[in-house]
Amino acid sequence: MSRSRLVLVLMLGLLVVVSGVFAAPKQLVVGCLEPLTGSYAVFGTEAKIGMEIAIQHINAAGGIKSLGGATLKLVAEDCGESPDTAKLSAESLISKNKPVAILGLYISRLTIPVSEVTDRNKVILVADALADNLTQIGRRYLFRPSANAGQYGASAVEFVVDIAKKKGVAVNRVAIINEDSSFGHSVAMGAVNAALKNKLTIVYQKEYPYDLSDATAIVSDIVAAKPDVVFHCPYFMDAILFAKTIREGGRIPKFVAGMGACGYADANSIESMGDTDNFYTNTYGYNPEKDNAANKKFVADFKAKTGHIPSDAPGMNYYAMWVLKEALELSGKLFPKDPLKPDNLREAFLKLEITSGPAVDTFPSASIRFNSTGDNPDAKAVVMQVLDGQTRVVWPFETAQAQAVFPRPDASKY
Amino acid sequence: MRRNSRGSWLLAIALAAVAAALPLAFLRNQYNLILLTTVALYGVLTSAWNIIGGMAGQLDLSAGAYLGLGAYTTATLLLRWNITPWVGMFAGGVVAMGFAFLVGFPLFRFRIREVWYALSSSALVVVLQVVFLLWKQVGGPMERLLPSASFSLYNLRFQSYLPYYYIMLVLLLATLFIAYRIRTRRLGYYLLALGDNEDAAEVLGVDARGSKLKALVIYAFLVGITGGLYACIYGFVHTSFFSPTISMEVAILGIVGGLGIIYGPLLATVILVTGRELLRAGLGGRLQSLYLVIYAVVLILIALLRPRGLASLLGAWRKERR
C-alpha cells in the first residue's frame, strides 16, 4: 500500500469515526434547582424525584425525536433557602453545565433573583413557584405551566359556585382568610376577584401569620359575620388549628373550602385530624387520580420510590419536564438548523399547544399553552375532598371520581 | 515594633491589591464573581460584628435586623421617592444606627449582658420581621422588586457582579480600617477590657454603657449599609431578610475567626464561606445535605482545636518565626 493510499484510508477511517460521534444521539443537560436543605427540603426533594422519573420516561420513550433522539440528563444543585445561595446555585449550574433549561426553585422569593440570572444567560426557567407576581415582572425566559396562586383561589370559588348551583344551595356571603406569606396573599387575591366576579358578598377577610397559636378570635369573628362559605388558604398546622377550633365552637358554616392548603386534604392532615378533616376540600396543581396510563405509570413509579403517592411538587415537575420535552421537539421541527438557540427554544415555548401526550395526561386541565408573560391561561387546579378518610377528586366535574358532599352535613344554623 | 507595624500595613495593602485584581483573572465567569462578592459581603458583616461581638464581648445576634433595616430603607427610598441607593444605603446605615441606639440604650442602661443580651438581640430580628410583615405601606407579605436593568448606575442595578464586587470590597476595606482605628484607640482598649471582665473594667473607670453603645451603633451602621447593597444585588426586599439564620452565621464566623482580632472574622469568612459554597456546589445536588454536615464538623473541630479562633493559627506561626 502506497503511503498516500494509507493516508487516504486513515482519513476515511477518521471520517467514519467522527461522523459516528456526530450521528450518536446527543445528551441535553436539564438543570434542577430545588431547596434540598432547610425548611422547604421536603418539597424540593420530592420535586427532584418527579423530574428524575420524568426524564427516565422521556428517555425510555426515545428522547427528543426531532433532535435525533437526544436524551435528557438531570443535573441538580441545592438552592438552599436564602437569595445568596439561590443565586450562587444558579450561576454555578449554568457556568458549569450549560443547561438547555432549568426547572424549579419552588419558592417565589428565590425564583425572583434566579430568574434575573436565567434571563441574562438566556436559559429557559420552567417555574414551579406559584405566586402571581413572578410572571408580572417582565422575565422573557420564564414559563409556568401550572396554575398560579390566583388561579388556585379562583378555582376554589368556581368549585363552590358550581356545586352550589348543582345542589340548589344558596351561597351569597363568603369569608376569605389566608396565612400572610406572598403565596397565601396571592391565593386570597385570586379568590377575592373570583368572588366579586360571581357576585358573592365578602363579609369577612383576614390575613394572619401561619404560626399563630390560637384561632379562637378569628373563628368567632368569622361566625359573627355569618358567611355561608369560608375560603381558607392556610399552611399546615394552622389548618388543623382552624378545623379543630371550628368544630369545638360548634357553629359550623355550610362549607369550608381550602385553597392551596397543604393542611386540609393531604395524607398527613387526614392522619393528624382524623374525622375532623371530613368534607374539607383543597385545590391542587396536580391530580394523582387522573385516570390514564401515563399518569398511572408516574404514580406507580413514584410510589415505588418513596412509598406514597405524589403531591403537588413532584407532579408539577413531572409534567413540567414533559412540557420542556414537547418544546424541544417543536423547536427541532421549527428551527432544524439551530433548535437549541435560546430565542428559538423560547419561540417554541410560546407556540406550544399541547392537547395530548403525557404532559396533558398528567396535567389537571385539558391543554397547555403559554401567553406572552409565560403563564398558562388554560391552567386549572383540581379540587379534592376528604370523604371517609380518603381524598377524592370532586371538581372539575368531568374528571371527578366522586360526588362532592355539599353543604357539610354537620353545618349549623347561625 | 514599629518595623513590624509597617510590615503589617504593607501586607494588608498587598492583600487588598490581590483582592482588587482577583476578578481580572475570573472576569468572564459570573459564578466566581458572585462567589467573591458573597464572601466580601459576609466579610463586612463579620468584621463589623467583631467590633461589638469580638472586642466588646457582647454575643450579638441581631445582624439580620440591621441588614433588613438597611435593605428596606434603601428600597423604600428608591421605590417611593426615586432616591438613588447610593444615598439610600447610607440612609439605611443611619436608620439601623438610630434603631441600634434606641435598643442599645435601655439594654446597656439596665445591664443586660451575656446570654440575656444574646437572647434580646436575637428576638429583635424576629420582632422586626413581624413588624415589616404587618407594615403594609413599606413591607407586607409580597416581595418588593427593585427596577431591573442591565446597567444602571443611578439605581445601582447591574447585570454583572463586577461593580458589586468592587463596591463591596471598598466597604470591606473601610470596615477593616474602622475596626483597626477603634482597636488602636482608647475605645478599643475599653472594649477589650469590657470583653475580658466587665466588672473589673468598670471599677477601673471604664465607661461601660457609653463604650458598648458606641460599638453597637458603629456595627449597626456598617451592617445597615451592607443591607442596602444586599437589596440591590438580589433585586428585591422581603421580610425574610430579617433572618435569624444570617445573624447566627455572622456570629459563628466571628467567633471561629478569633474574637477581637481585626482580620480574624475575615479570615474565617474567606475560608469557611468559600469552602461551604464549594461543598454545596460539588455535593449539594447529589448527596443531599451532606455538605452541611461536613461544614458543621469543620466548625466543631475548629472550636475544639483552636478555641481562640482561626486567627490564632497565624499568631502562633508569627511567634514561632520571631
- Residues B30, A184: C-beta atoms closer than 8 Å: no
Least confident range from A311-320, B77-86, B299-308: namely: B299-308
pLDDT at B6: 77
Task: Assess whether A256 and A156 both reside in one domain.
Answer: yes
* CB nearest A180 (choices: B30, B133, B235): B133
Q: Which residues of A touch B234 (CB under 8 A)?
A: 83-84, 87, 113
CA distance B155 to chain A (A): 16
The yes-or-no verdict on residue A22 having pLDDT over 60 is no
Task: Assess whether A127 and A155 both reside in one domain.
Answer: no
CA distance B276 to chain A (A): 10
In one letter, which amino acid is B141? P
The yes-or-no verdict on residue B35 having pLDDT over 70 is yes
pLDDT at B231: 96
Band of residue B232 on the pLDDT scale cut at 50, 70, 90: very high
Site from A87, A142, A177 to mutate, B interface, most B CB atoms within 10 angstroms: A87
Percentage of chain B modeled with pLDDT above 90: 54
CA distance B280 to chain A (A): 7
Write the pLDDT tens digit of every residue in A47-81: 999 999 999 999 999 999 999 999 999 999 999 98
Residue at A332 is within a domain: yes
Write the pLDDT tens digit of every residue in B164-186: 999 999 999 999 999 999 999 99
Write the pLDDT tens digit of every residue in A223-264: 999 999 999 999 888 898 999 999 998 889 999 999 987 778
What pairs with residue B144 in β-bridges?
B237
Please give the residue of chain A at the shortest CA–CA distance from B30. Answer: A91
Q: What is the mean pLDDT of residues A30-36?
A: 94
The yes-or-no verdict on residue A20 having pLDDT over 50 is no
Residue at B294 is within a domain: no
Chain A residues touching chain B at CB-CB below 8 Å: 32, 36-37, 41, 45, 75-78, 80, 82-85, 87-89, 91-92, 94-96, 108-109, 112-113, 116-117, 120, 131, 133, 137-138, 180-182, 184-186, 207, 209
Task: Assess whether A333 and A272 both reside in one domain.
Answer: no
Residue at A99 is within a domain: yes
* CB nearest A182 (choices: B143, B285, B288): B143
Phi, psi for A26 (deg, rounded to 5): -80, 165
Task: Assess whether A207 and A240 both reside in one domain.
Answer: yes
Residue at A18 is within a domain: no
Least confident range from A62-66, A351-355, B19-23: namely: B19-23
* CB nearest B277 (choices: A88, A96, A184): A88
Q: Which H, E and C letters describe chain B, residue by residue?
A: CHHHHHHHHHHHHHHHHHHHHHHHHHCCCHHHHHHHHHHHHHHHHHHHHHHHHHHCCCCCCCHHHHHHHHHHHHHHHHHHHCCCHHHHHHHHHHHHHHHHHHHHHHHHHCCCCHHHHHHHHHHHHHHHHHHHHHCCCCCCCCCEECCCCCEECCCCEECCCHHHHHHHHHHHHHHHHHHHHHHHCHHHHHHHHHHHCHHHHHHCCCCHHHHHHHHHHHHHHHHHHHHHHHHHHHCEECHHHCCHHHHHHHHHHHHHHCCCCCCHHHHHHHHHHHHHHHHHHHHCCCCCCHHHHHHHHHHHHHHHHCCCCCHHHHHHHHHHHC
Write the pLDDT tens digit of every residue in B235-271: 999 999 999 999 999 999 999 988 888 889 999 999 9
Least confident range from A5-19, A50-64, A308-322, B138-152: namely: A5-19
pLDDT at A33: 95
What is the average pLDDT value for chain A, to the nearest integer?
A: 89
- Residues A32, B285: C-beta atoms closer than 8 Å: yes
pLDDT at B93: 97
CA distances to A94, B16, B47 from B171, rounded to whole Å, are 29, 12, 11
Residue at B259 is within a domain: no
pLDDT at A5: 62
The yes-or-no verdict on residue A21 having pLDDT over 50 is no
Highest mean pLDDT among A386-395, B288-297, B309-318: A386-395
Sheet holding A71-78, edge to edge: A71-78, A27-34, A101-104, A124-127, A142-143
pLDDT at B25: 76
Band of residue A274 on the pLDDT scale cut at 50, 70, 90: confident
Residue at A333 is within a domain: yes
Q: What is the mean pLDDT of residues A90-117?
A: 93
Band of residue B78 on the pLDDT scale cut at 50, 70, 90: very high
Band of residue A95 on the pLDDT scale cut at 50, 70, 90: very high
- Residues B234, A77: C-beta atoms closer than 8 Å: no
- Residues A91, B34: C-beta atoms closer than 8 Å: yes
Task: Give the closest residue to B35 by CA, choosing from B283, B280, B225.
Answer: B280
Band of residue A154 on the pLDDT scale cut at 50, 70, 90: very high
Please give the residue of chain B at the shortest CA–CA distance from A178. Answer: B141
pLDDT at B31: 92
Q: What is the mean pLDDT of residues A8-35?
A: 67
Q: Which residues of A touch B291 (CB under 8 A)?
A: 78
Residue A98: CB atoms within 10 Å: 14
Task: Assess whether A159 and A262 both reside in one domain.
Answer: yes
pLDDT at B307: 78
Band of residue B316 on the pLDDT scale cut at 50, 70, 90: low
- Residues B277, A120: C-beta atoms closer than 8 Å: no
Residue at A9 is within a domain: no
- Residues B143, A83: C-beta atoms closer than 8 Å: no
Q: For residue B45, what are the domain limits?
A: 2-243
Q: Which residues of A touch B288 (CB under 8 A)?
A: 36-37, 41, 45, 78
Residue at B31 is within a domain: yes
Task: Give the closest residue to B42 by CA, choosing from B255, B277, B269, B237.
Answer: B269
Percentage of chain A modeled with pLDDT above 70: 93
* CB nearest A78 (choices: B141, B238, B285): B285
pLDDT at A226: 93
- Residues B238, A78: C-beta atoms closer than 8 Å: no
The yes-or-no verdict on residue A2 having pLDDT over 80 is no
* CB nearest B238 (choices: A94, A96, A109): A109
Task: Assess whether A67 and A206 both reside in one domain.
Answer: no
CB contacts < 8 A, A to B, total: 99
pLDDT at A10: 56
pLDDT at A19: 47
Q: What is the mean pLDDT of residues A30-59?
A: 92
Task: Assess whether A274 and A394 both reside in one domain.
Answer: yes
The yes-or-no verdict on residue A402 having pLDDT over 60 is yes
The yes-or-no verdict on residue B225 having pLDDT over 50 is yes
Band of residue B282 on the pLDDT scale cut at 50, 70, 90: confident
Residue at A249 is within a domain: yes
- Which triple of cell numbers denotes residue A108? 417565589
The residue count for chain B: 322
- Residues B31, A76: C-beta atoms closer than 8 Å: no
Least confident range from A361-370, A402-411, B313-322: namely: B313-322
The yes-or-no verdict on residue A169 having pLDDT over 80 is yes
Q: Which residues of A touch B240 (CB under 8 A)?
A: 82, 109
Q: What is the mean pLDDT of residues B199-215?
A: 90
Site from A75, A79, A84, A137 to mutate, B interface, most B CB atoms within 10 angstroms: A84
- Residues B234, A84: C-beta atoms closer than 8 Å: yes
Q: Which residues of A touch B246 (CB under 8 A)?
A: 82
Least confident range from A279-288, A368-377, B15-24, B160-169: namely: B15-24
CATH assignment at residue A106: 3.40.50.2300
How many folded domains does chain B comprise? Answer: 1
What is the average pLDDT value for chain B, to the nearest integer?
A: 89
Site from A39, A92, A205 to mutate, B interface, most B CB atoms within 10 angstroms: A92
Burial A280-316 (b: 16+ CB within 10 A, else e): bbbbbbbbbbbeeebbeebbebbeeeeeebbbbbbbb
Task: Assess whether A307 and A324 both reside in one domain.
Answer: yes
- Residues A88, B280: C-beta atoms closer than 8 Å: yes
Band of residue B12 on the pLDDT scale cut at 50, 70, 90: confident
Angle of helix B264-283 relative to helix B290-305, nearest 10 degrees, comes to 150
Task: Assess whether A166 and A45 both reside in one domain.
Answer: no
Task: Assess whether A48 and A126 both reside in one domain.
Answer: yes
pLDDT at A308: 85
- Residues B133, A88: C-beta atoms closer than 8 Å: no
How many folded domains does chain A comprise? Answer: 2
The yes-or-no verdict on residue B322 having pLDDT over 50 is no
pLDDT at B1: 41
Q: For residue A93, what are the domain limits?
A: 25-147+290-361
- Between CA A57 and CA A64, with CA A60 as vertex, the angle to 5 degrees is 90
Q: Which residues of B touch A89 (CB under 8 A)?
A: 280-281, 284
pLDDT at B152: 87
Task: Assess whether A271 and A393 both reside in one domain.
Answer: yes
- Residues A112, B145: C-beta atoms closer than 8 Å: yes
pLDDT at B196: 85
Residue at A413 is within a domain: no
pLDDT at B3: 52
Residue B2: CB atoms within 10 Å: 6
- Residues A95, B133: C-beta atoms closer than 8 Å: no
Band of residue A389 on the pLDDT scale cut at 50, 70, 90: confident
* CB nearest B285 (choices: A75, A137, A180): A75
In one letter, which amino acid is A260? G
